[in-house]
Amino acid sequence: MIGSSDYSASEGESISAMFRCLFGGYLYYTLATAALADDRVLQGFDLARELCARCHVIGDYNRLGGIGNSPSFQWMVKADDWRERFDSFYARRPHPVFVRMAGYDKWSDADPYYPPFTITVEEIKLISIYVATLSLPGEK
């Protein structure tokens, strides 16, 4: 015979298990639809986090981060020509001082005030795929 206190304890456990299960399912669904379904989004996010997040807010990841004079990615993605701007960001100030395109000569001899990095056309595409997700409803 199960005492009433045992009963409520096990009921509590099964409710919390149910919530864990629901939450896990929701999380899985969100990740599966938003990211894992297209792991280029994740790769783009990783690149943005590694290369851009120090100056730019790149979404919820660092909503309060970035440096004051850099526009946030979620703000820039609202511009009609955002793809063009991202595709050529390395040629737009201030980036030429610290960004090099793989296979191209360095085009500035100015002292980089930021640790220089090299980026490829493919990596820029991945970042754009991630940035596009910031324009989805609820992501702004």
Kindly list the residues in this chain that would bind ligand HEC in the complex (CB under 6 A). Answer: 51-52, 54-56, 69-71, 76, 85-86, 89, 92-95, 114, 119, 127
CB of 134 to ligand HEC, least distance (A): 12
| Residue 47: partners with Cβ closer than 8 Å, 6 or more residues away | 123, 126, 127, 130
Q: Longest Cα pair distance anywhere in the chain, in angstroms?
A: 83
Nearer to ligand HEC, 6 or 50 (CB): 50
Between 35 and 85, CB nearer to ligand HEC: 85
In the complex with ligand HEC, the residue whose CB is nearer, 84 or 139, is 84
Closer to ligand HEC at the Cβ: 12 or 71? 71
The token pair at 67 is 């440096």
Spatial distance between the Cα atoms of 136 and 69, rounded to a whole number of angstroms: 25
CB of 27 to ligand HEC, least distance (A): 28
Least gap, CB of 102 to ligand HEC (angstroms): 13
